[in-house]
C-alpha cells in the first residue's frame, strides 16, 4: 500500500521530468536561434519543430500532473494556455484545458462557456477525435441542454460512421431523452454511408417501436428477417418479441423471445434483457444475472416463478410484462439521471410540507383521525427516492428511465381505482392516489404520488400530498379532511371577530 508521501512523490516525478524537458528545449531553441544565418540548414528547422512539439507535450504533462494534484489548478491553466498559444490545434492541450475549466467552474458559468468553446474548436480541428465529441456532449448534458448534446452526437456519428463508442452514446442518449424522431433521421443517413447497416436498421425499428409506430417497426423487422447476423441476433429477436407482444401475437412473440435468449453470447447481449427485467427482479436474481452459466436456464426459472398459471403451456406473464414496460416508457418517464439528489430533493421535501410544519392542512395526522399510526403528514412524510430506493431490489438502478408511478405500474399492472386532485380547485401540485384491490394472495395496496415535473415525473409519497376525496380509499382520510375543514372554519371565525 502506498503511503501519502509515496503518493506525493509519484505525482511530483512527472512535474520534475516535464520541467526539465521544457528547460532543455528552451535552451536548445535559444542556441539554434543565435547561430549565424548561413548555418541555419533545413535540419535545424526540423529540430526546432521537433523540440517545440516536445516542449508543448511537456507543458501538457506538467499541467496534467498539477491538475491531478489540485483539480482546477491556476498554474495548470496557465501552462495549457501557453501550450495552445504555441500550437492552437493541439488536441491534448485543448481537452485538458477544458477539463481544468470545468473543475474550476463551480458556479462560474463563464468557465463552462470557455470549456465548451475549447471543445467545439477541438472537434473542428480534429473531426475524428472521439474523446472530444464525447466530452462536448457530456458538458452539454450536464448543462441540461439535452437537445444540443444529441445534435453534437449526431454530427459526430455522421462524421465518424464506424466509431462504436460515439454510435453507442448517440443511441443511448436518443432513447434516454426521447429523441427517437431525430435518431431515425440520422440512422437513415448512416445506412447510405455504410455497406453493413443491419444494426442501424434494427435500431431504427426499435425507435419506431418506442414512438408506438408498431406496424412500421414490424414491417421493417420482417424485411430484415432473411439475413440476421450473429452479432445482432439477440437484439433482433428480442425486439421482434416485444413488437409481437404489443400486437397481441403472443405465440409468435414467445417463439422470438426464446430465440433471443438462446442467441446470448456475452454481457452486451444480456444487457438487452436487464434493461426491461430489472423492475421485477429480486436482489438475489440480480446478483446471479451476470454469473457464468446457462442463461437460458436462468431465465426459464426466472419466469417460472412468476407464471400465473402453471397448468397452461405458455407463460402469460412474459407478454404482459413487456406490454407494461412499453406502456410505462411512453407514459411514465424520467429524464435526468443522478441530478435529482442535488437539485430537487429539497424541493420535494417542500412539496411534502416539511418546510411548513405548522400548516393545519399538512400537519394532520392519522392519530388525530382515530388511528394508532404515528406518521405526521408534513413532518415525517417521505417523498420519492428518499425512501423508495431503500425498499427496492438492487436490480433497479438509481438513474432508471421510469418514474415511481411507472415502476409501480410495471410491477403490479393497471390499478383498480384512482383519484387525482384538481389543481385549479385546491391550488396544490398535481397528485394522485391509486388503489389495487385484493386478489388471490396479493393484498390490497394503496400508493400516493405527487408530480415532480418532467425531470422526475411522478414521485411516490408515504402519505397523500392532498387528502381531499381520499375517504373512499380509507375512512381515516375523510376524518382528516373533516378535521382540517373544522380548523379552517375556526380560523375564519377568529379572523372575523
Residue-by-residue DSSP string for 32-91? HHTS-GGG--HHHHHHHHHHHHHHHHHHHHHHHHHHHHSTT-HHHHHHHHHHHHH-TT-H
pLDDT digits (tens, 9 = 90+) for 228-284: 888 899 999 999 999 999 999 999 999 999 999 999 999 889 999 999 999 999 999
- Rounded to a whole number of angstroms, the distance between the first and last alpha carbons of the chain is 76
Are 463 and 361 contacting, i.e. CB atoms less than 8 angstroms apart?
no
Q: What is the pLDDT of residues 443-461, one digit of tens each?
A: 888 888 888 766 778 888 7
Burial of 179 (0-12, 13-18, 19+ CB in 10 A): buried
Looking at residue 322, what is its pLDDT?
A: 98
237 Cβ partners below 8 Å, 6+ apart? 228, 256, 257, 259, 260, 263
Number of H helices, E strands in the chain: 23, 4
Query: How does the average pLDDT of the chain come out, rounded?
Result: 78
User: Helix H segments across 263-315?
Assistant: 267-277, 283-289, 295-304
pTM: 0.76
Per-residue pLDDT tens digits for 289-309:
988 889 999 999 999 999 999
Domain boundaries, the chain: 14-29+51-126, 196-331, 338-496
pLDDT beyond 60 at 166 = yes
DSSP conformation letters of 356-399: -TT-TTTS-BTTTTT-S---BTTTT--BTHHHHHHHS-TTS-TT
Residue 185 has pLDDT above 70, yes or no: yes
C-alpha cell at 463: 402519505
Joined grid coordinates for residue 151: 445534435
- Tell me the C-alpha distance between 347 and 353, whole Å: 10
- Distances in Å between the Cα of 390 and the Cα atoms of 126, 201, 344, 349, 386 are 46, 40, 18, 17, 8
pLDDT over threshold 60, residue 93: yes
Q: Which of 172-186, 359-373, 405-419 bottoms out in mean pLDDT, i.e. has the lowest?
A: 359-373
> Could you give the strand order of the β-sheet that contains 417-420, starting from the edge strand earlier in sequence?
417-420, 431-436, 445-451, 458-461
Residue 293 to residues 289, 297, 298, 305, Cα–Cα distance (Å): 10, 8, 8, 19
Classified by CATH at the fold level, domain 14-29+51-126 comes out as 1.25.40
Q: Which residue has the cell 446471479?
A: 288
Q: Which helix (H) or strand (E) holds 418?
A: strand 417-420
Angle subtended at Cα 359 by Cα 356 and Cα 362, rounded to the nearest 5 degrees:
90
Give the pLDDT band (50/70/90) at residue 328: very high
Amino acid at each position: 500500500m502506498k503511503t501519502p508521501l509515496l503518493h506525493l512523490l509519484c505525482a511530483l516525478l512527472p512535474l520534475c521530468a516535464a520541467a526539465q524537458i521544457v528547460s532543455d528545449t528552451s535552451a536548445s531553441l535559444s542556441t539554434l536561434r543565435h547561430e549565424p544565418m548561413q548555418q541555419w540548414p533545413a535540419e535545424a528547422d526540423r529540430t526546432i519543430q521537433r523540440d517545440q512539439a516536445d516542449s508543448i507535450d511537456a507543458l501538457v504533462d506538467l499541467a496534467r500532473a498539477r491538475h491531478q494534484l489540485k483539480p482546477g489548478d491556476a498554474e495548470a491553466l496557465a501552462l495549457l494556455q501557453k501550450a495552445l498559444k504555441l500550437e492552437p490545434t493541439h488536441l491534448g492541450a485543448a481537452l485538458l484545458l477544458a477539463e481544468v475549466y470545468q473543475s474550476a467552474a463551480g458556479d462560474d458559468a463563464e468557465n463552462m462557456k470557455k470549456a465548451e468553446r475549447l471543445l467545439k474548436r477541438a472537434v473542428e480541428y480534429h473531426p475524428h477525435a472521439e474523446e472530444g465529441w464525447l466530452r462536448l456532449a457530456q458538458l452539454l448534458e450536464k448543462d441540461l441542454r439535452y437537445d444540443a448534446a444529441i445534435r453534437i452526437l449526431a454530427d459526430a456519428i455522421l462524421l465518424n460512421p464506424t466509431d462504436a463508442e460515439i454510435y453507442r452514446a448517440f443511441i443511448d442518449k436518443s432513447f434516454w431523452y426521447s429523441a427517437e424522431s431525430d435518431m431515425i433521421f440520422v440512422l437513415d443517413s448512416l445506412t447510405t454511408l455504410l455497406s453493413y447497416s443491419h444494426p442501424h436498421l434494427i435500431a431504427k425499428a426499435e425507435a419506431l417501436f418506442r414512438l408506438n409506430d408498431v406496424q412500421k417497426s414490424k414491417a421493417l423487422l420482417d424485411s430484415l428477417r432473411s439475413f440476421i447476423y450473429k452479432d445482432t441476433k439477440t437484439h433482433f429477436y428480442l425486439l421482434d418479441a416485444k413488437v409481437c407482444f404489443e400486437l397481441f401475437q403472443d405465440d409468435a412473440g414467445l417463439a422470438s423471445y426464446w430465440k433471443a435468449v438462446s442467441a446470448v453470447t456475452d454481457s452486451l447481449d444480456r444487457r438487452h434483457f436487464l434493461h426491461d427485467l430489472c423492475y421485477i427482479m429480486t436482489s438475489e436474481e440480480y446478483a446471479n444475472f451476470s454469473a457464468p452459466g446457462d442463461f437460458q436456464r436462468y431465465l426459464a426459472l426466472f419466469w417460472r416463478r412468476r407464471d400465473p398459471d402453471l397448468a397452461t403451456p405458455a407463460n402469460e406473464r412474459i407478454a404482459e410484462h413487456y406490454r407494461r414496460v412499453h406502456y410505462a416508457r411512453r407514459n411514465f418517464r424520467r429524464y435526468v439521471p443522478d441530478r435529482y439528489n442535488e437539485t430537487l430533493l429539497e424541493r420535494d421535501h417542500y412539496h411534502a410540507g416539511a418546510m411548513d410544519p405548522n400548516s393545519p392542512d399538512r400537519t394532520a395526522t392519522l392519530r388525530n383521525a382515530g388511528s394508532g399510526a404515528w406518521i405526521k403528514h408534513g413532518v415525517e412524510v417521505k417523498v420519492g427516492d428518499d425512501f423508495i430506493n431503500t425498499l427496492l431490489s438492487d436490480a433497479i438502478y438509481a438513474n432508471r428511465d421510469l418514474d415511481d408511478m411507472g415502476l409501480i405500474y410495471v410491477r403490479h399492472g393497471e390499478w383498480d381505482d384512482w383519484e387525482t386532485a384538481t389543481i385549479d380547485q385546491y391550488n396544490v401540485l398535481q397528485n394522485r392516489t391509486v388503489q389495487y384491490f385484493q386478489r388471490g394472495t396479493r393484498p390490497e395496496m394503496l400508493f400516493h404520488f405527487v408530480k415532480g415535473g418532467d425531470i422526475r415525473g411522478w414521485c411516490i409519497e408515504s402519505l397523500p400530498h392532498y387528502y381531499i376525496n381520499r375517504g373512499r380509499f380509507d375512512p381515516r382520510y375523510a376524518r382528516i379532511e373533516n378535521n382540517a375543514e373544522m380548523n379552517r372554519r375556526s380560523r375564519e371565525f377568529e379572523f372575523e371577530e
